[in-house]
């Protein structure tokens, strides 16, 4: 195998590793995003549940200070939900970027593989041409020997007469 083909195979190995690493990074980013989505669902569920509890409570039985604490708590909870929404948007961008890196690495790998296949086909065509040339030369030599042998037989027959 030529040095060029060995270099190409090395490039394929490196591109495969890079693609695999990009795939692992994408899987990690997806897991982090799923965890953040689950946390968001918990926060939203807790906020909805708390609102429902307060809505069904007897408003006349609650004093002003308790209502103020509830409003403050719900305000902080809504801030936490907004922060989590920002985290989710950021994580979604990270997943998109990881997905794009994965696709780019796959494209690079496929281009190296296609180039290797092309080079191997070219080598096979050249080898077939060389073999055909050798066969043609061999056939030409055999034909020349047969012609010479026939002439020699004809000459020897002519001399014997």
Calculate the average pLDDT of the chain.
92
What pLDDT, on the 0 to 100 scale, is given for residue 28?
Answer: 98
The pLDDT of residue 61: 63
Percent of the chain with pLDDT over 70: 95
Per-residue burial over 17-44, b = 16 or more CB atoms within 10 Å of its CB, e = otherwise: ebbeebbebbeebeeebeebeeebeebe
> Residue range 73-89: average pLDDT?
96
Provide the CATH topology of domain 3-123.
Helix Hairpins (1.10.287)
* Residue 158 pLDDT class (50, 70, 90 cuts): confident
Predicted local confidence at residue 51, as pLDDT: 84
Identify the DSSP state of 57: S
Reply yes or no on whether the pLDDT at 72 is more than 70: yes
Question: Are the CB atoms for 106 and 6 separated by under 8 Å?
Answer: no
* Predicted confidence (pLDDT) per residue in 101-133, tens digit: 999 999 999 999 999 999 999 999 999 999 999
Give the mean model confidence (pLDDT) for residues 132-150. Answer: 92
Radius of gyration of the chain (CA): 40
pLDDT in tens, 40-68: 999 999 999 988 888 777 665 667 788 88
Q: How far apart are CA 37 and CA 44, in angstroms?
A: 10
Residue 59 is predicted with a pLDDT of: 60
Say yes or no to pLDDT of 70 above 90: no
């Amino acid at each position: 195998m030529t040095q060029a083909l060995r270099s190409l195979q090395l490039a394929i190995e490196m591109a495969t590793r890079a693609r695999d690493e990009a795939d692992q990074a994408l899987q990690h980013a997806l897991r982090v995003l799923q965890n953040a989505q689950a946390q968001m669902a918990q926060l939203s569920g807790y906020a909805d549940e708390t609102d429902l509890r307060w809505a069904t409570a007897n408003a006349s039985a609650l004093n002003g200070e308790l209502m103020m604490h509830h409003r403050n708590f719900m305000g902080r909870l809504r801030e936490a939900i907004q922060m989590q929404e920002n985290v989710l948007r950021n994580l979604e961008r990270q997943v998109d970027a990881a997905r794009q890196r994965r696709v780019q690495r796959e494209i690079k790998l496929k281009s190296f593989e296609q180039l290797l296949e092309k080079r191997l086909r070219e080598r096979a065509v050249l080898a077939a041409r060389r073999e055909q040339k050798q066969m043609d030369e061999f056939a030409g030599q055999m034909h020349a020997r047969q012609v010479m042998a026939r002439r020699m037989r004809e000459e020897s027959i002519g001399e014997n007469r």
